[in-house]
Amino acid sequence: MVGEVQISGAKNAALGILAAAVMADEDVIIRNLPDVSDVNIMLEAIAGTGAVVKRLDRHEVLLNGSTIRSHVVDNSYIRKMRAGYYMLGAFLGKYHSARVALPGGCPIGVRPIDQHRKGFEALGAVTSIENNMICVEASELKGAYVYFDSVSVGATINVMMASVFAEGRTVLENAAKEPHVVDVANFLNSMGAHIKGAGTDVIRIDGVKKLHGSDYTVIPDQIEAGTFMAAAAATRGDVLVRNVIPKHLESISGKLREIGCTVEVYDDAVRVLVNRELHSVRVKTLPYPGFPTDMQPQITVVLSTAKGTSTVNETIFENRFKYVDELMRMGTNITVEHGSIAVIDGVKGLKGAQLVATDLRAGAALVIAALAADGDSVIDDIEFILRGYEDFERKLRALGGDIVMGDDEKEAKKFFLKANAV
Ligand code: UD1
């Protein structure tokens, strides 16, 4: 891969921000939205509650929560996209009542919601599960002290939203520090919320009576950027990744340097190039600012052709190495111990294969592997990838990747990749 790529808005920030936007009864404009299926389904789910959702252009939307008539988000949306559960925090905060379909099992692990419930209950809500719906109700919400037993992005954002209108002060301890938590807090503050400390592990929220309109731009996507950085490394290329916040990429840049890549950092871009042999390292996924679990499959692909034996220890999700079976068909030498540690013996090269994307990030990692491989590959079930990467194949083609998406009805869910990408 050689050239430049422009990173889109952060999917995971956008999902929280869209839910938070309808907590105001005035017009809110959100810019730099990524045009990916998760975001588009979230917009449909919000429109389904009666809110005004007006697409201004491909990356901009106007929302207004004053017309909401239903506090229910049903299964037809949640089946396809998990983050619909952010409507729980938003509607509990605003209307003291919400019902959202229980997110189904996810390919990467169990993904419980106990910490979300614990936070809502601390604020005074009663939570229950009825007919596969999570129900939250409160007669009043009062600021409270919440200590999260595990660091959860979703629970931090959800409880932060629910507490925006709670009377008095809420303190969230052991909060997640991910860039998208900070972006949702900044957005809520732009609507008049009083949130301090987002980005640290203690967030304080002083309740306000109402939120007003806002015009807000979503941050760039840390994981999309990291994925292109990994693609540059795996294909021994030279890629300038533009429109990023380099601070958010430090754990990824640091690891790629340790592997032997050159990483140059600019104000809003990073360049990754490979001009020497790559070698093995140890990686452990951790909450931010640690190495992101959402970059675990991509870094595994990079390490699969790096000299020596690497280990990748997944500490966030218990079932995130399913894709290794797919990688093995490309000639990698990886064993997974106890389901959580991949031991990777670097091989000289990968060969093309018929592959199936098992989840969003694993799917992206398989695409990277196929671009680095000798021989043609076909990747099936790419709707997982389209959930989170805007114009993925177009961006890769611009970097010299020979990749096309099947364009008839039967092949629409596949990527076809040809050998010897730049
Ligand atoms: C978010 C991201 C996802 C990323 C993950 C970790 C979105 C839409 N998704 O997912 O891409 O992989 O953060 O960075 O932003 N947990 C509990 N109880 C709970 C909630 C979580 O035990 O109530 C556990 C989970 O099982 C997991 C860990 O906490 O082991 C982290 O999960 P969490 O941060 O909540 O992930 P999500 O918000 O679902």
Q: What's the sign of the alpha-carbon dihedral 70, 76, 82, 83?
A: negative
Ligand 1 centroid, distance to 230 Cα (angstroms): 23
Taking residues 63-84, report their average pLDDT.
86
Per the CB < 8 A criterion, the answer to whether 146 and 171 are in contact is yes
Ligand 1 pocket mutation pick from 82, 153, 201, 389 by most atoms within 8 angstroms of CB? 153
**Residue 103: pLDDT over 90:** no
Supply the pTM of this predicted model. 0.96
SS3 content of the chain, % helix, strand, coil (to 5): 35, 25, 40
- Cα separation, 38 vs 44, in Å, equals 10
Res 412: pLDDT: 62
User: Which pair of structure tokens corresponds to residue 18?
Assistant: 């869209």
Taking residues 224-239, report their average pLDDT.
98
**Residue 421: pLDDT over 70:** no
Task: Report the helix count and the strand count for the chain, using DSSP H and E.
Answer: 14, 24
Which residue blocks in 213-355 are alpha helix, DSSP H?
Answer: 222-234, 250-259, 296-304, 324-328
The pLDDT tens digits for 322-355 are 999 999 999 999 999 999 999 999 999 999 999 9
Answer yes or no: same fold for 8-217 and 222-417. yes
Taking residues 228-237, report their average pLDDT.
98
Closest CA to 247 of 204, 293, 199: 199
Res 353: pLDDT: 96
Res 105: pLDDT: 44
Report which DSSP code applies to 35: -
Domain 222-417 grouped into CATH 3.30.540.10? no
Domain segments of the chain: what residues? 8-217, 222-417
**Residue 387: pLDDT over 70:** yes
Question: From 3.65.10.10, 3.90.870.10, 3.40.50.620, 3.30.565.10, which CATH number describes the 8-217 domain?
Answer: 3.65.10.10
Confidence of residue 110 (pLDDT cuts 50, 70, 90): low
Using a 6 Å CB cutoff, which residues line ligand 1? 12, 15, 83, 109, 111-116, 150, 152-155, 176, 180, 293-294, 316-317
**Residue 77: pLDDT over 80:** no
261 tagged catalytic: no
From the candidates 66, 70, 79, 106, which is the catalytic residue? 106
**Residue 373: pLDDT over 90:** yes
- Cα separation, 241 vs 270, in Å, equals 5
- Cα separation, 183 vs 170, in Å, equals 19
Average pLDDT, the chain: 94
The pLDDT tens digits for 264-281 are 999 999 999 999 999 999
Res 82: pLDDT: 75
Taking residues 245-265, report their average pLDDT.
98
Ligand 1 centroid, distance to 150 Cα (angstroms): 9
Res 422: pLDDT: 45
